[in-house]
Amino acid sequence: MIQILQEHLPNGSEAGSNSKTRGFISVPGTPVEMPFTFIHGAMPGKAMLITAGVHGGEYPCIETAIQLANEIDPSQVKGTILIIHPVNPAAFLARMQYYGPYDGKNLNRVFPGTATGTVSERIAYQVHLFQQAADFYLDLHGGDIHEGLVPFVIYSQLGGPELAEQSRLASALLGFPYVVGSVSENGSIGAAAKVGTPGFLAELGQCGRWNAGEVDQYKAAVLNVLRSFEVVPGEVQLHDVEFLEKMLVSTASVDGCWYPAVELDALVKKGQKLGEIRDFFGEVKASYVADSDGIVLYLVSSLAITTNDPLAAIGVLKEV
Ligand SMILES: [Zn+2]
């Protein structure tokens, strides 16, 4: 990690032990400057990478990362923590959902990126360099400006069973109610898993809002994970969480107005109506049902919906 940082962080070479370095990481070939804090612990240990704001409208995670960057004391740290807060500052300032303003791409759909691609692809590539140097990767998300959700955690199953198991157990330490595995190829945690770095993508907060209570919960959750790697001192809290079989996402087949028929965190039955899309005259254009029994993990909260947008996700309960 230290060597990668020395090559890719401004002032990285000055980051001796028991120090905190802050500044901006320039993404080559783009106008993007990612704010970062690099905490070099007083003692040797694991290299942790924390990113927040891959999606610019997910506020609790971004404020969590800003506060952690300020509050973690390097004299108490074993190893290193690189925090990027946020990864996508232009999307944050533009108050954009899902996408970045330079190329209209969803950053979490272009990993591992490329050094010669569009702006989002180059950001992904830069983050992927740090993923490769990290022992563990925490990617902090939440419901976007137009999404409601119940807190949950996704880990990647792409790096083989041993890596997936390490990620699954660490995911549970956040204490969010649901944990689910993913085989997504182009997301942040999938790219990390494929180069041997375990991690997770956490989801807390929703609908373009944030508050101190959510941020405190998010910070405590992240610190609990850092404790489990002995990067920060203290006792690890164990939590009872529900491990889900998989997540099924329904997507919109037409543009129009979205009317959900279920509530967040509700237990739904296979075939139960999730909602419908109507046109501007109130005529139903499409109707959507649950493909399996499960829990409603997230729901789009905006009336507006466009074709191919996610509508709702069902977390399928494990057979017992
Ligand atoms: Zn997100």
Give yes or no: residues 204 and 177 share one domain.
Answer: yes
Rounded to the nearest whole angstrom, what is the distance from the C-alpha of residue 282 to the centroid of ligand 1? Answer: 31
Same domain, 192 and 271: no
CA of 220 to the centre of ligand 1 (A): 20
- Domain check: are 34 and 61 in the same one? yes
Q: What is the 3-state secondary structure (H, E, C) of 43-60?
A: EEEEEEEEEECCCCCCHH
Q: Quick one: pLDDT at residue 13?
A: 53
Q: Where are the alpha helices (DSSP H) in 117-174?
A: 119-133, 161-172
Place of tokens 């692809």: 121
* First-to-final CA distance of the chain: 42
Report pLDDT for 14: 64
Gap from CA of 48 to ligand 1 centroid (Å):
20
Q: Are residues 161 and 295 in the same domain?
A: no
Residue 204 gets the label, from left (phi > 0), alpha (psi -120 to 50) or beta, of: beta
pLDDT < 50 stretches in the chain: none
Tell me how far the alpha carbon of residue 285 lies from the centroid of ligand 1, in angstroms.
28
CA gap 294, 315 in Å, rounded? 5
Which of 240, 270, 299 represents a domain boundary (last residue)? 240
Same domain as 59, residue 187: yes
Q: What are the b/e assignments for 23-51, b being 16+ CB within 10 Å? A: eebebeebebebbbbbbbbeeebbbbbbb
CA of 203 from ligand 1 middle (Å) equals 7
Query: Quick one: which of 149, 147, 146 has its CA closest to 266?
Result: 149
Question: How confident is the model at residue 3, as a pLDDT?
Answer: 74
Q: Do 66 and 125 belong to one domain? A: yes
As given in the structure block, the two tokens for residue 67 are 């506060």
Tell me which H or E stretch contains 70. helix 59-71
193 lies in the same domain as 176: yes
User: Which of 216, 240, 264 is at the close of a domain?
Assistant: 240
Domain total in the chain: 2
| CATH at residue 204 | 3.40.630.10
Distance CA 287, CA 272 (A): 11
Residue 261 burial by CB count (10 A; 0-12/13-18/19+): exposed, middle or buried? middle
Range of the domain at 143: 2-240
Q: Residue 207: its pLDDT value, please?
A: 95
Q: Are residues 180 and 135 in the same domain?
A: yes
99 CA from centroid of ligand 1 (Å):
10
Please tell me the predicted confidence (pLDDT) of residue 318: 82
Domain check: are 67 and 198 in the same one?
A: yes
Q: What is the CATH number of the domain that holds 281?
A: 2.40.50.100
Both 120 and 175 in one domain: the answer is: yes
Residues 233 and 249 in one domain: no
The answer to whether the predicted template modeling score (pTM) of the entire model surpasses 0.75 is: yes
- d(C-alpha 301, C-alpha 298), whole Å: 9
